[in-house]
Amino acid sequence: MDLVIVGSVAFDTIKTPYGFVNRVLGGSATYCSISSSFFSKDVGVVAVVGEDFDNKYLRYFLDKGIDIRGIEKRKGKTFFWEGEYSDNLNDAKTHKTELNVFKDFNPTLPGEYENCKYLFLANIDPDLQNKVIQKVKNPKFIGLDTMNFWIQNKKDSLLNVLKQIDLLFINEGEAKLLTEESNTIVAGKKILELGVSRVLIKRGEYGAILMEKDNVFLIPAFPLEKVIDPTGAGDTFAGGFMGYLAATEDKSFENLKNCILAGTIMASFNIEDFSIKRLNSIGFSEIKKRMVKYIKSISLDGEKFLKQI
């Protein structure tokens, strides 16, 4: 197995200024695995669903060649989230969270999964993230996401997993919360001091910052004219990133920039519609076309400039 993704599979009810959807497929592992499948052909998912999870939903994973042996079906209902985005589409207001079977989620890795080369731990309890890390035998690269809740309520557990991973994906606001620092760059440096090798600070529509000791890289997001629903953007980003990394097997700083390009473009598609609708409708030629446009919009000839001044 090249890439294993551990996270949630859920049903979401979402309202944004552009529409409303009821109990559609969502969850971090859903967005992440489908996104990664455009680059990596050997992806497995570890998640838990309830009895209400109709098998028809599994085809979304199977159609993309994703291994679903790690999706466990349990007695009870699937994780459910209901939320609403206001005009600026930045922050979701949660109306309802029903953890259901996700409450007792205890990630079990089918045999082969333990030999995965690349591992992404989506936003779940850091104690569970730690448990998975102990199970994988010889991973080349572990990416990890987290959220405010764990920073505030399980900081020690989180700090423990950070020391064992290769890259932390974190929102700008969460990075500031974790480090109690108001400057983003300083927050990134402080995160590196916590013992994590690299940090990727996500700035939403403003792009991302990748930092490792002695290296920093900043990139704007793809300039999108219409955002319908930002749900899953971060997970779709991580999916594109990890999928491209698993496909190229090169964790040099230079190639991690390419991983960001892949993640950014996948996230830009995802937020153009609700649920996984857009991810389901695109093909690789469309992805490549947008990549060309994106690279054109962020490129400049820096070396020529430096020679001139």
Which range touches a second copy (CB under 8 A), out of 27-35, 75-83, 139-147, 288-296?
288-296
CA 251 – CA 66 distance, rounded (Å) = 23
Please tell me whether residue 302 binds a second copy under the rule CB under 8 A: yes
Please tell me whether residue 282 binds a second copy under the rule CB under 8 A: no
Please tell me whether residue 254 binds a second copy under the rule CB under 8 A: yes
Token couple for 166: 């290769």
CA 44 – CA 41 distance, rounded (Å) = 10
Q: What's the first-to-final CA gap in the chain, in angstroms?
A: 50
Please tell me whether residue 184 binds a second copy under the rule CB under 8 A: yes
CA 50 – CA 102 distance, rounded (Å) = 9
Alpha carbons within 13 angstroms on the beta-carbon side of residue 189 total: 8
Give the x/- contact pattern for a second copy in 256-275, rule: CB under 8 A: -xx--xx-------------
Residues numbered 187 to 226 that lie near a second copy (CB under 8 A) are: 189, 203, 205-207, 209, 216-221, 223-226
SS3 118: strand
Whose CA is closest to 237, among 252, 211, 219?
219
| Element of type H or E holding 14 | strand 10-16
CB of 140 to a second copy, least distance (A): 19
Residues numbered 65 to 104 that lie near a second copy (CB under 8 A) are: 87-88
Residues in touch with a second copy (CB under 8 A): 87-88, 182-186, 189, 203, 205-207, 209, 216-221, 223-227, 248, 254, 257-258, 261-262, 288, 291-292, 295-303, 305-306, 308-309
